[in-house]
Amino acid sequence: MKDTQSNSDILVIGAGIAGIEASLMLSKSDRKVHLVEKTSYTGGTTIKFEDVFSNMECSTCMVAPIQQELLQDKNINLLTLAEVEDVQGSFGNFIVKIHQKARYVDMKNCIGCNACFEPCPVRLKNEFEEGLSERKAIYVPCAGALPNVPMIDTEHCLRFNGKDCHACQEVCMFEAIDFNQKDEQITLTIGAIIVATGYTTFDSRQTPQYGYGKIDDVYTAFEFERLYASNGPTEGKILLKNGKTPKSAALIHCVGRNIKGYCSSVCCMYSLKFNHYLTLKIPEIKISEFYTDLCIPGKSHQKFYEKIRETGTKLIRASDIEITKQGQGIVIKYNDERGKKNSTTVDMVILAPAIVPNGDASKLAKILGVTIDEYGFFKEENQNVSSVVTSKPGVFIVGCSQGPKNIQESVSQAAASVGKILSTY
Amino acid sequence: MNRKIGVYICECGPNISEKIDIDKVIEAVRFLNDIVVVERYKLLCSEDGKKYLTEQIKRYGLTHLIIAACSPRDHQLTFMEVCENAGINPYLFQLANIREQCVWITADKEEATKKAIRLTKAAIGRVRCHSPLEKKEMESNPDVLIVGGGIAGIETSLQLAHSDRKIYLVEKTASLGGLIKNFEKTYPEMHPCSISIQQKIETINKTNNIKIFTDSEVEDILGFFGNFEIKVKKNTNEKDSVSFNVGAVVFATGSTLFNPNKTTCYGYGKFDNVLTALEFEKMNLSGEIVLKNNKTPKSVAIIHCVGRTEKGYCSEICCMYSLKFARYLKDKIPDIKVFNFYSDLCIPGKTHQKFYEQTQGKNIDFIRAKNIEIAKKGEHLTITYNDEKSGKNNYDVDMVILSPALEPTADTARLAEFTGISLGDGGFFAEEHEKLGPVSTSSQGVFIAGCSQGPKSIPDTIIQAEAVTGKILSSLIPGKKIEPEVKVSFISESFCIGCKTCLDVCSYGAITFNETKKVSVVNEVICRGCGNCVAACPSGAITLKHFTFNQIYQELKAAIQ
């Protein structure tokens, strides 16, 4: 692949931590990068977290500088609210069609003052906050989102539903609200593609034994992250549905592992992190952590586990867990290590669901002409050759789109894909 | 110097103008020394705003610029660019954050105005003491030294080798290939391994621009990113040493196995037929799995987590390679009985559980066990252990394979010292940042790949080798100059008392000691401007450019006066 006609521009799909890392590195080597992100913001799922294990660094503080660098980088063309619709051609010369939805807020004029939110009469559940708080029809997902420019949700905005409402436009002093914006069809010629579309989590409703969706105060990992986040719906207060502080909590590992058929590699560590969150905010809380096999690989993780163990938390190797509501409490029935039936009652339950591919992974795979594996993740050609290389030359896969992994491994894969690209052409 | 300072207050639409009495701010700073103009403007970061600023700078012949507006995170670079284009050194500019730090934290207009005045005065106080700083550019050498000829070193060399870049690959043993040349197959696909590594070694031998030194060790590394001086010596001949220059250094020194001799309970070194994982890999590769007496074993125990407690970490790959061993055994001796003694099964990732499920089954048993002890009983080895139900139990087997923890190789500490990087958990090389900088280190231009950074699988090692390739190809480009940090520290020779405190606190190895003059010296190319040395210096001899004592003092003085 040393064709002199090759296009040196790169398309990166997904502006999470892996996509950002790859884009910034490519830009440093003077490559033009088109970074396509389907949401209105950058940072992916990492910005949902308050802290990251095991050094417990503040996640936003870690990511914000590189998000800012990304926005100011002149070699990077960030396309938010955009999705890849079609890819033709081959390594060195791909022709890519991208559909970019209108934001209806001018990125150049808007200064991110958020004045437009208040007058908007529409109230909706905020998806970014896992429905734990409300947003308006014009909104940013959370405080500190970058780019700090709102978008209009046309599905619910009154104006886009036949009503005559200008509430947001009227308060905007910068003429940033533009109802006349149109969706755009963008065609680009590029040389190589990096897929960094990330992951989502297993739908805990599919495991009814844990009571999620039926019992109040049974939370998923993402919900709990937002509950703990200082920029989240409760500004970091851990509260039960009735507004009280929980006196006891249970952490359940491996939710969905049996159904999915793999270990998601990060859940033990993030559950231990949750354990740490809980004792930090509610020092007297009693925690029971239910696991099957502790998977804490790597040089730094056991140290973290040992620190948690010192707090007196109950670590229970359990199977056949069943969660029911009884009176005010949530009862967890389980079989312990010795196979004996046992139970405990808690105020709050936090589930650690498996990492699963994003819903549109298979659609994107079809567009790109790459394979999906039996679990729905993008398939590497041969992991002993390189886990970022696909069967299609010029298309690379990084981060959790390739399989469950932690941030360090995602960043490594992003850098690896850049290595592959820069050493090839 | 005759200063002409211009102060511009951004209204930020209604954001600042409605919540601060901007006229009061103007009034408060208008008659301060050196101020030639104070103005308000509706939106300074807009295209019109930037044009306006450029005209103002030229019209008043401004030498320094103050902007009172938003957070430096938003527009510091924007305004530094305006300065540069209008002919002011961008470091003669200061931004006062009167939006996030004043109007966005209180509804009280009077309070906000008071604080905005203080912050603007502070910025003026500071900018008066600013000195212009100039960007530097440096020629760099694109060549790379790679230490370690295992899979990480081989992959990095192959990917980096290119006509305009020379690679020096140094391996301390007599041949390339590292640990994995002993592996018949790799999990989970059970692909041939030792064959494919041999092919890679052949490719490396044929690749121009890769110079291989086997039986050799790095004797010294001097210099900094873009310009390292390397000395390599032959192990076989003390006097035989060569020197060359490179721009970057990669440590791919791998790992070794925890020595099971350190724990007596496994009988390693005492009893026949107790093997380490590596010894078993070698035996398997040789084609025949046999006992000391040349008989074929009928039962084998594989003990996971050997040395985990002593090392204090999980080595990540032992569960999986132990499963692979069970497969080797089944392939070669179909009616063999295999017992896996484990504590927690660590099989992360999308492909591993399936491998486990397919391995589990007829005559391959998994026993969660504690307090394992191995004793000799006639021809057999007896394994005594506590099972999950805490009952004491035992099994007799013919052979025991130990899966010991991975630990860094003996060179790790020595190489870290050469380059001023530190060792992290478990004595492995410490990465620059646990999440965002897994293959870079605190010394710019020194990279780490593979198990020298921490225990990892072959695919993850290859990923790190490729990541290092990406890092080097995007930062060390042939013909392109590198730009070191501008805001660096410097040490006054006359104030330095030669106590060397600064040498200890510098994480980048940027400070050396001049033995003739008895003073510390900062290498401006290596310094990243963290300020550690400034704070630690007991004689006040160190100054950080753009954060001088006087600049900070004047800023604070103006803020609280």
Could you state, in order of their start, the residue ranges of all structural domains in chain B? 5-133, 144-254+409-475, 260-405, 489-545
Least Cα separation, residue A173 to chain B (angstroms): 6
Q: B466 and A419: CB-CB below 8 Å?
A: yes
Q: A29 and B12: CB-CB below 8 Å?
A: no
Would you say the ipTM is above 0.90? yes
pLDDT of residue B551: 97
pLDDT of residue B158: 96
Residue recorded with tokens 């008066």: B128
b/e burial code for range A48-68 (CB count within 10 A of at least 16 → b): bbbbbbbeeeebbebbbebbb
Q: B73 and A68: CB-CB below 8 Å?
A: yes
pLDDT per position as a tens digit, A128-185? 999 999 999 999 999 889 999 999 999 999 999 999 999 999 999 899 999 999 999 9
Q: Which of residues 208-247 of A touch B (CB under 8 A)?
A: none
Tell me which chain A residue has its CA closest to the CA of residue B389.
Answer: A338
With contact defined as beta carbons under 8 Å apart, do B251 and B429 qualify? yes
**The two three-digit tokens of residue A49, written as one number:** 């977290």
With contact defined as beta carbons under 8 Å apart, do B140 and B476 qualify? yes
Q: B388 and A302: CB-CB below 8 Å?
A: no
In this predicted structure, the answer to whether residue A1 has a pLDDT above a threshold of 60 is no
Q: B467 and A338: CB-CB below 8 Å?
A: no
Q: What percent of chain A has pLDDT over 70?
A: 99
Q: Which of residues 113-132 of A touch B (CB under 8 A)?
A: 113, 115
Q: Does residue B538 have a cis bond before it (omega within 30 degrees)?
A: no
Query: Shortest CB distance from B353 goes to which of A66, A263, A414?
Result: A263
Tell me which chain A residue has its CA closest to the CA of residue B100.
Answer: A113
Mean per-residue pLDDT of chain A: 96
Tell me which chain B residue has its CA closest to the CA of residue A267.
Answer: B348
Chain B residue numbers with beta carbons less than 8 Å from the beta carbon of A26 are 474
Query: Vertex B506, ends B504 and B507: CA angle to 5°?
Result: 110
Residue recorded with tokens 């010292």: B417
DSSP annotation of A129 reads: T
Residues facing residue A345 across a β-bridge: A331
Round to the nearest angstrom and report the end-to-end CA distance of chain B.
25
Q: A300 and B425: CB-CB below 8 Å?
A: yes
d(CA B254, CA B172): 12
pLDDT of residue A2: 47
Q: B344 and A265: CB-CB below 8 Å?
A: no
With contact defined as beta carbons under 8 Å apart, do A388 and A416 qualify? yes
Q: Which CATH superfamily is domain B144-254+409-475 in?
A: FAD/NAD(P)-binding domain (3.50.50.60)
d(CA B94, CA B72): 9
Question: What CA–CA distances, in Å, run from B150 to B146, B254, B395, B396, B428?
Answer: 10, 7, 38, 37, 16
Task: Transcribe B52-63 into DSSP letters.
Answer: HHHHHHHHHT-S
Cα–chain center distance at B218: 21
Nearest to A12, CA basis, from A21, A3, A4 = A21
Chain A residue numbers with beta carbons less than 8 Å from the beta carbon of B13 are 111, 113, 173-174
pLDDT of residue B1: 64
Chain A residue numbers with beta carbons less than 8 Å from the beta carbon of B315 are 297
Residue recorded with tokens 């009077």: B110
Query: Shortest CB distance from A423 goes to which of B12, B159, B460?
Result: B159
Q: B349 and A299: CB-CB below 8 Å?
A: no
**The two three-digit tokens of residue A290, written as one number:** 């239910």
On whether any CB of chain B is under 8 Å from the CB of A5, the answer is no
DSSP annotation of B150 reads: S
Selected residue of B78, B98, B463 to mutate for chain A interface (largest A Cβ count, 10 A): B463
pLDDT of residue A4: 59
Selected residue of B434, B451, B480 to mutate for chain A interface (largest A Cβ count, 10 A): B434
**The two three-digit tokens of residue A238, written as one number:** 């851990």
Q: B348 and A263: CB-CB below 8 Å?
A: yes
Selected residue of A296, A384, A400, A411 to mutate for chain B interface (largest B Cβ count, 10 A): A384
Chain B residue numbers with beta carbons less than 8 Å from the beta carbon of A54 are 434
Q: B354 and A383: CB-CB below 8 Å?
A: no
Q: Which of residues 36-65 of A touch B (CB under 8 A)?
A: 52, 54-55, 57, 62, 64
Q: Which of residues 22-41 of A touch B (CB under 8 A)?
A: 25-26, 28-30
Residue A179, SS3? coil
Chain A residue numbers with beta carbons less than 8 Å from the beta carbon of B367 are none
Return the half-sphere exposure (C-beta side, CA atoms, 13 A cut-off) of residue B270: 15
Q: Which amino acid is at A410?
A: S
State which CATH number among 3.40.30, 3.40.50, 1.10.390, 3.30.1390 fits the domain covering B5-133: 3.40.50
Helices (H), B421-544: 458-475, 501-505, 532-536
Query: Shortest CB distance from B474 goes to which of A25, A411, A412?
Result: A25
Question: What CA–CA distances, in Å, run from B369 to A381, B266, B303, B388, B493?
Answer: 37, 14, 10, 6, 64
Q: B463 and A338: CB-CB below 8 Å?
A: no
pLDDT of residue B508: 86
Least Cα separation, residue B473 to chain A (angstroms): 7
**The two three-digit tokens of residue B152, written as one number:** 């990480």
pLDDT per position as a tens digit, A37-47? 999 999 999 99
Query: Shortest CB distance from B13 goes to which of A174, A294, A382?
Result: A174
Same fold, B144-254+409-475 and B260-405: yes
Cα–chain center distance at A177: 28
Return the half-sphere exposure (C-beta side, CA atoms, 13 A cut-off) of residue A101: 14
The phi, psi pair for B380, rounded to 5°, reads: -100, 170
Domains of chain A with CATH codes: 10-101+183-198+358-424 (3.50.50.60), 202-354 (3.50.50.60)
d(CA B406, CA B353): 22
Least Cα separation, residue A327 to chain B (angstroms): 33
pLDDT of residue B107: 92
The per-residue pLDDT string of chain B (561 residues; one tens digit each, 9 = 90 and over) reads 689 999 999 999 888 999 999 999 999 999 999 999 999 999 999 889 999 999 999 999 999 999 999 999 889 999 999 999 999 999 999 999 999 999 989 999 999 999 999 999 999 999 999 999 999 899 999 999 999 999 999 999 999 998 789 999 999 999 999 999 999 999 999 999 988 999 999 999 999 999 999 999 999 999 999 999 999 999 888 788 999 999 999 999 999 999 999 998 999 999 999 999 999 999 999 999 999 999 999 999 999 999 999 999 999 999 999 999 999 999 999 999 999 999 999 999 999 999 999 999 889 999 999 999 999 999 899 999 998 877 899 999 999 999 999 999 999 999 999 998 999 999 999 999 999 999 999 999 999 999 999 999 999 999 999 999 999 999 999 999 999 999 999 999 999 999 999 999 998 889 999 999 999 999 998 899 999 999 999 999 999 999 999 999 999 999 998
Q: A423 and B191: CB-CB below 8 Å?
A: no
Nearest to A11, CA basis, from A364, A373, A347 = A364
Q: A416 and B467: CB-CB below 8 Å?
A: yes
Tell me which chain A residue has its CA closest to the CA of residue B104.
Answer: A113
Q: A423 and B454: CB-CB below 8 Å?
A: no
Chain A residue numbers with beta carbons less than 8 Å from the beta carbon of B458 are 384
Cα–chain center distance at B534: 24
pLDDT of residue B2: 86
pLDDT of residue B40: 96
Query: Shortest CB distance from B470 goes to which of A64, A303, A419?
Result: A419
Query: What class has domain B489-545?
Result: alpha beta
Query: Shortest CB distance from A297 goes to which of B14, B314, B473?
Result: B314
**The two three-digit tokens of residue B307, written as one number:** 């040395």
Q: A418 and B12: CB-CB below 8 Å?
A: no
Residues facing residue A316 across a β-bridge: A290
Query: Shortest CB distance from B349 goes to which of A404, A412, A417?
Result: A404
A91 — pLDDT class (breaks 50, 70, 90): very high
Q: Which CATH superfamily is domain B260-405 in?
A: FAD/NAD(P)-binding domain (3.50.50.60)
d(CA B17, CA B41): 10
Chain A residue numbers with beta carbons less than 8 Å from the beta carbon of B185 are none
pTM: 0.93
Contacts of B279 (CB under 8 A, 6+ apart): none
With contact defined as beta carbons under 8 Å apart, do A212 and A351 qualify? yes
Return the half-sphere exposure (C-beta side, CA atoms, 13 A cut-off) of residue B48: 6
Residue recorded with tokens 């408060």: B28
Nearest to A151, CA basis, from A168, A135, A138, A170 = A138
Question: What CA–CA distances, in Å, run from A252 to A228, A340, B50?
Answer: 17, 18, 55
On whether any CB of chain B is under 8 Å from the CB of A425, the answer is no
Chain A residue numbers with beta carbons less than 8 Å from the beta carbon of B426 are 299
Chain B residue numbers with beta carbons less than 8 Å from the beta carbon of A377 are 350
pLDDT of residue B155: 97
Residue B147, SS3? strand
